[in-house]
Amino acid sequence: MTGTRGPLNAFLDLAEIPVPSAQNGPLAGLTLAVKDIFDVAGYRTGCGNPQKHDEAQPAAATAPAVQMLLASGARFVGKTQTDELAFSLMGLNAHFPTPVNPTAPDRITGGSSSGSASAVAGGLADIATGSDTGGSVRAPASFCGLIGLRTTHGRIPLAGTMPLAPSFDTFGWFATDMAAYEKVGAIELGEDRHRHALRRPLSLAVLDELLIGPAEAEAYDGMVRRVAALMGAPKRAPTLSHGIDDLYWCFRTLQGREAWQSHGAWISASGNKLGPFVKERFEHGATIDAATAEAETGRRNAFRNELGDLLGDDGVLVLPTVPGAAPLKAAPFDDLQSWRERALRLLCSSGLSGFPQITLPIGSVDGAPFGLSLLGPKDSDRQLIALGASILAASTGEA
């Protein structure tokens, strides 16, 4: 595994192996990039680590979620870079050149689906697969001006996919065009089991207050007005009984323990090297005992029930996807770490609950993209996509 190819460092530099796709279908004419945690027949799945790539055998079959897209006419154009073992939010892999954010080249792409977001934002692929455990679709989508959905947990099977934290891991995808996004949603999701219209917008002050400054707050207010023009102003919901710091640590604890259970044996083997920061996250996961995990699972279940009650059948939570535009590449590490921890406080509600959340590219700060999110009840994924399409159309005067 020699590195990346192309001007954006989005694609891995791998020997090309033919990947068959249907000649006709709803995705015919669209190109597909695949994050390198999903198996593609004939390719090794490297998971963002050169040693893991070299140890892997070529995949005998393509991950079913990816195969569905190929069977619908999408044409495979390559595997994309991911943060190491998908355990990062920033898109900075110590083993590869950093993918370029085409919409804001002085800023990061976000991760772990960094190459996929870069490829779509740069016009190198029409659609690209990603995964979202803690925000790895939503954050890069917001950073790069893309549409990105964290799907209801468990709704799309993850066979043929590298696990990170299985009770959080979800399949997702990127696109700039909502028509293409909706086509993929129809293929991957089928019909929603949630049948009630999402007509009651809500907001939580504790989430809105995580914006990093006045410029971000002003930009977000403008995005909320676009939602309000279509649905009415979001109603401020009562404060939940779970503090945002408690939810953040609940997520970090359970994700860290599961990540170590998924990869600890391989990491502990002699000679397996991880880049800095990713290594420390895994080591933290190794310290979490079963009793701690059990207590935090109880907190998680209680939060899921409380958020479910808040949303009911028709509620949709309106929130900033992340605290602002993507951080600058030149930002000091401590600033990036502080930004990451703030972002995870916004992102963890969907992960802890398992409910779907879509981010929409309708805002900007300092000339860089900044997304607004809608979080809905379990299995309301396609309704969120349809609602997002209406908001985007209204925002561009196409309604």
Closest C-alpha to 126, from 173, 186, 68 = 173
b/e sequence 354-381, b meaning 16+ C-beta within 10 Å: bbbbbbbbbbbbeebbbbbbbbbbbbbb
Catalytic residue among 21, 72, 88, 112: 112
Residue 136 is among the residues annotated as catalytic for this protein: yes
Identify the burial level of 226 via C-beta atoms within 10 angstroms of its C-beta, where 0-12 means exposed, 13-18 middle and 19 or more buried.
middle
Residue 112 is among the residues annotated as catalytic for this protein: yes
Planar angle of CA 194, 143, 364, nearest 5 degrees: 95
Q: Give CA–CA dist 102/122, Å, rounded.
A: 5
Instruction: Look at the block and give the residue holding tokens 């549409």.
Output: 147
Catalytic residue among 116, 131, 136, 350: 136
Q: Give CA–CA dist 263/50, Å, rounded.
A: 15
User: 3-class SS at 333?
Assistant: helix
Structure tokens at 116: 């996929």
Residue 113 is among the residues annotated as catalytic for this protein: no
How many residues comprise the chain? 399
Catalytic residue among 35, 52, 79, 183: 35
Q: What are phi and psi of 150, to 5 degrees?
A: -85, 115
Residues with catalytic roles: 35, 112, 136
